[in-house]
Chain A
Amino acid sequence: MKDFMFVFRNDPAVMAGMSPEVLQTSMQKWMDWIGGIAAQGKLVDRGSRLADEGNVVRSARMVTDGPYIETKESIGGFIMVRTESLAEATEIAKGCPILSAGGNVEVRPIVRV
C-alpha cells in the first residue's frame, strides 16, 4: 500500500460566489466523497481546508500576499489516501466534486525516507 496526497486546486471566486444552498449541496457532495473513501478504509488523513488569503515568501525582502500568480489554480486543501497504486488513487480522484466546479485534483505519491 502507498500513500498519496490529493491537492485540490480551484479558483477561490467559485466558492465565494456560491449561494448558501449551493454551498450546502457542495459540502454534502464533499462529505459523501470523502466518507466513501473513509468507508473503504483508505483515508489516511482528512487533511485541512486552506483559507484564501496568505503570503508567498520568495526571499527575505520579497513577500507577496495572495491571491497568487495564477488565481484559478489556488490550493484549497488536501487529504491523504492509501491505495495499492497510483492508478487506483487516480481512479478515486475522478469522483472528486471539485471536477464539476472547474477545479482539479493533483495526485502525488508521498515519499517515505
Chain B
Amino acid sequence: MENQELIPHLFRTEYRKITAVLGKTFGLEHIEIAQDIASDTFLLASEMWGIKGAPDNPVAWLYTVARNKTLDYLRRDKLFKEKVSGQVVRNSPVGDEIDIDLSARNITDSQLQMMFAICHPSLPLESQIGLALNVLCGFGINEIASAFLTNKETINKRLYRAREKLRAEQVKMEFPDEADIESRLDAVLKTLYLLFNEGFYSAGKDITLRKEVCIEAMWLTKMLIENPGTDRPPVNALLALMCFHASRFEARTNPEGETVLYQDQDDSLWDSALISRGEYYLNRSSTGEQLSRYHLEAAIGYWHTIKADTPEKWERILQYYNQLLILEYSPIAALNRTYALAKARSKAEAIREAEKLNLADNHLYHSLLGELYLGVDEGKALGYFNTALGLAKSRADKQLLLEKIKKLC
C-alpha cells in the first residue's frame, strides 16, 4: 500500500484504538488530550513516512510513538500527571511506573467501553452520534458538519456540551453491569443504527464521506459481535440490515450523483458479497425469543435483495412492516408499509390507507400518493408530485420529482 493510502487507512483503524486506550488510561474527562495525542501521532507519521517511507510494522510504529508522546506529555505537564497518576498507576501492572497498555485485549476492551460511554443515556442522541463520529471514527469537525448538513460552530458547540455532560455525569469507561447491559446495549445499537442512516440517507453531496460513515457504523457493530458479552441477537440483526442496505450503495446513485430508486436500480451493481454477509448475520440473529425492530428491518432488507417482484415478496414485506409499526411508529415505516400494500394487494387499497396517514407536511407522503395514482388518475398523480416538489428540500429529491413530472406532462 502506498503512503497516501496507508495513512488514511491506518487512521480509520488505529485512531480510535489509540484514543480509546489513552482515554481509558487518563479517564474519560481527559478525552480531548487522548484525541490530541492520537492526532499528533498521525501527523508525525505523515511527516516521517513521507520522507523516509513507511516502517516495516506501521502499527507498532504508531503505538510506540503514541506511547512516547504520552510519556512526554505526562513529564511536561506535572499537574496533569498528578491528576491522572492515581488512575494510571492503578491500571498499571508493575509498581508506579506509568504504563500504556496497548495489548490487543486492552485495545478491544477500551474501544467497547468507549462505545458504551459515548452512548450514555444522559446525552442527546445527536450528541452521541457526533461524539461517535469524532472519537470512535476519527472524523474532523468539518466532516461531521458536512455529514450533518450544518456548520462547524454548531458541531463544535455540540461536542463541547457533550464532553461537559460526560464530565458532569462522571461517566466512566467501563462495561455496564450485567443487570444494565440490555438497556445500555439498546442505546448503543440505536446510535449505531442512526449513525449508519446518517451516512445512508443524508442529503449530503459527498458520497465518499457518506459511505465511510456507513462502513464505520458497520465496523463498530461488528466489534460488538466479536465480543462474547455483547454478541446478542439484535446486534447480529442490526449488522445484517446494514449489510443488506449497504449492498445497494453503488446502485442507488448514478454517475451524476443523482438518486436511483429501488425499482430502477441495476441489480448487477448490488454487492453480492455483502448480501451473503447479511444472510450470515441474519441467521446468527435468529436465536432466542426477542424479535427486535432490527430483526424486522433486516428481514425487510433481505426481501429487498431479491429483485423479482413476486406476490410472496411483497406480502412478506407488508407483514414485516405491519409488525414493525405495531412495535414502534415512524413516518418512514408508515409510508413504506403503504407502498408494500400497493404491491401486495392493490393500488386502490393502498390509496385508501395512504389518505388516512397524517403526513401532509412530508414530501415523501405526496411522492408516494403521486406514485400510487400513476396509471389510476394521472391528473391527481401530477398534482401530488407538484406538491411534493414544493416541500422537497434536497437537490436529489427535487431532481427525482422533476423527472417524474416531466414524464407526465
Binding site for B on A (CB under 8 A): 28, 31-32, 34-36, 38-41, 43, 46
Q: B322 and A40: CB pair below 8 A?
A: no
Q: B323 and A31: CB pair below 8 A?
A: yes
A31 to B296, CA, bound (A): 14
Interface of B is mostly: helix
A38 to B338, CA, bound (A): 12
| Interfacial chain B residues near A43, Cβ < 8 Å | 325-326, 329
Q: B357 and A40: CB pair below 8 A?
A: yes
State the Cβ distance, B278 to closest chain A Cβ, in Å.
25
Q: B325 and A38: CB pair below 8 A?
A: yes
Q: A38 and B326: CB pair below 8 A?
A: yes
| Interfacial chain B residues near A41, Cβ < 8 Å | 329, 334, 358
Interface of A is mostly: helix
Judged by a CB distance under 8 angstroms, whether B406 is at the interface is no
23 A-B residue pairs with CB within 8 Å: A31-B319, A31-B322, A32-B318, A32-B322, A34-B326, A35-B318, A35-B321, A35-B322, A38-B322, A38-B325, A38-B329, A38-B334, A39-B333, A39-B337, A39-B338, A39-B357, A40-B358, A41-B329, A41-B358, A43-B325, A43-B326, A43-B329, A46-B326
| Interfacial chain A residues near B334, Cβ < 8 Å | 38-41
Q: B353 and A39: CB pair below 8 A?
A: yes
- 10 more CB-based (< 8 A) A-B contacts, given A35-B326, A36-B356: A31-B323, A32-B322, A35-B318, A35-B319, A35-B321, A35-B337, A38-B334, A39-B334, A39-B338, A41-B358
| Interfacial chain A residues near B325, Cβ < 8 Å | 35, 38-39, 43
State the Cβ distance, B337 to closest chain A Cβ, in Å.
5
State the Cβ distance, A19 to closest chain B Cβ, in Å.
19
A22 to B31, CA, bound (A): 61
| Interfacial chain A residues near B356, Cβ < 8 Å | 36, 39-40
| Interfacial chain B residues near A34, Cβ < 8 Å | 322, 326
A82 to B167, CA, bound (A): 40
Most buried by B among A28, A31, A32, A39: A39
State the Cβ distance, A103 to closest chain B Cβ, in Å.
20
Most buried by B among A28, A32, A43, A46: A32
State the Cβ distance, A79 to closest chain B Cβ, in Å.
9
A33 to B333, CA, bound (A): 16
- The 6 A-B residue pairs with the shortest CB-CB distance in the complex, in nearest-first order: A35-B322, A38-B325, A39-B334, A41-B329, A31-B322, A38-B326
Closest to A34 in B: B326
| Interfacial chain B residues near A36, Cβ < 8 Å | 353, 356
State the Cβ distance, A59 to closest chain B Cβ, in Å.
38
Closest to A31 in B: B322
State the Cβ distance, B261 to closest chain A Cβ, in Å.
21
Most buried by A among B319, B325, B334: B325
Most buried by B among A34, A36, A41, A46: A36
Report B340-355 residues with CB < 8 Å from chain A CB: 341, 353
| Interfacial chain B residues near A35, Cβ < 8 Å | 318-319, 321-323, 325-326, 337
State the Cβ distance, A35 to closest chain B Cβ, in Å.
3
* With contact pairs A36-B353, A39-B357 given, residues A28 and B319 touching in the complex (Cβ less than 8 Å): yes
Report B309-326 residues with CB < 8 Å from chain A CB: 318-319, 321-323, 325-326
State the Cβ distance, B299 to closest chain A Cβ, in Å.
14
A34 to B329, CA, bound (A): 12
